[in-house]
Structure 1
């Protein structure tokens, strides 16, 4: 190998070493940060899975407490589930137990505080709360809770609230819209037809199946 080539290689080596001396700390730091992010993500996923399993166990424990009719203890257990996916389910179970125990106002408070990121579950929470409000003589509040929800169950609750407020025309419209969504064979259909008849409406005859 020629002397010039050796010198070039030596010069390149020195440049590489000099660059490493200047930037080595940054490289090492970058590797450490990268490893920390990977390990942190793995820990977070493991932590979330563990928390989810623990929350599930805690929810089951709350259900056992409700079976034992210890509503006060169950209320404390439900509060501990507030930041977990089980929170809305715990609220529904707790509210039912409170209602069965004659604590309607407590059940209303439980459902008022409950929320869910799942749209279907959130509608159920609103429907249960609205029904309790109607029973408590607060049908106007029930209408606000239902809002503009247009699924069959919500429309039926809206109709019930309108009946409680003496709004028979509006109730007929709501019940008619419910029937338009219910299948002919739906077990809920007969009750809604009775409600519609009670406010002066007339259920349409179901279309004959071809």
Structure 2
């Protein structure tokens, strides 16, 4: 090997060592950050799994209480959050309604800290129960500003039950406009509109 080659290798080695000295903190920081991300992700996964187990246990307890005729089942789900918790609470409310415990179902729905993606469903279920128990004013207030077809239909139901046929007709008409032509709910809405004294237009005809 020539002397020049040895000098080149020595120079290259010095450059590498110099670069490592200058960038040691950055390298160490990157490694530490990578390890932190890995462990943080693992911790988050285990935390979510633990939360799901807690929600499932609370859900099972609430269902057992309801089926056994005990009161206060919704308290078992208090403080639970997330999509799974919201779905569990909706299921508990359904079981409570089937058991004739409508007031408890209302309490369960009111107590849900709903995931944003499921909030409209929770709101509509609650409004449906409020309508069924003669609390139309509360249902209307709850649905104020909602533009979803199901919410508009529930507003129509509340107004019709309150004797406000003209306003109910308007809400049913808007609900039909917002509803897909092929929706299975369309026929039910058409009947409600007719019952309120409205005219069911052709799908291509503006309401």
TM-score normalised to structure 2 length: 0.69
SS in 1 for 2:83: coil
- The match for 1:84 among 82, 89, 92 is 82
The answer on 1:166 being equivalent to 2:171 is no
Deviations 1:50-101 (A, max 9, x none): 54355345434432332223332x2232115x21322323333444455555
Deviations 1:125-163 (A, max 9, x none): 222222333355542332232234444432331112112
The answer on 1:155 being equivalent to 2:158 is no
1:45 corresponds in structure 2 to: 45
Unaligned runs of 5+ in 2: none
The answer on 1:35 being equivalent to 2:32 is no
Answer with 197-206 or 6-15: which moved more.
197-206
Distance 2:51 2:183 in 1: 43
Cα distance change of structure 1 residues 46 and 177 upon mapping to structure 2, 3 Å threshold = same
Cα distance change of structure 1 residues 111 and 14 upon mapping to structure 2, 3 Å threshold = same
1:49-88 matched pairs, under 5 angstroms? 49=49, 51-53=51-53, 55-72=55-72, 74-80=73-79, 82-88=80-86
The answer on 1:139 being equivalent to 2:118 is no
Distance 1:199 1:172 in 2: 6
Superposed CA RMSD in Å reads: 3.9
Distance 2:27 2:5 in 1: 30
Cα distance change of structure 1 residues 183 and 39 upon mapping to structure 2, 3 Å threshold = same
Distance 2:107 2:78 in 1: 13
1:14-33 matched pairs, under 5 angstroms? 14-33=14-33
Q: Of the two structures, which has the highest relative contact order with CA contacts closer than 8 Å and spacing of 6 or more?
A: 2
Cα distance change of structure 1 residues 103 and 30 upon mapping to structure 2, 3 Å threshold = same
Unaligned runs of 5+ in 1: none
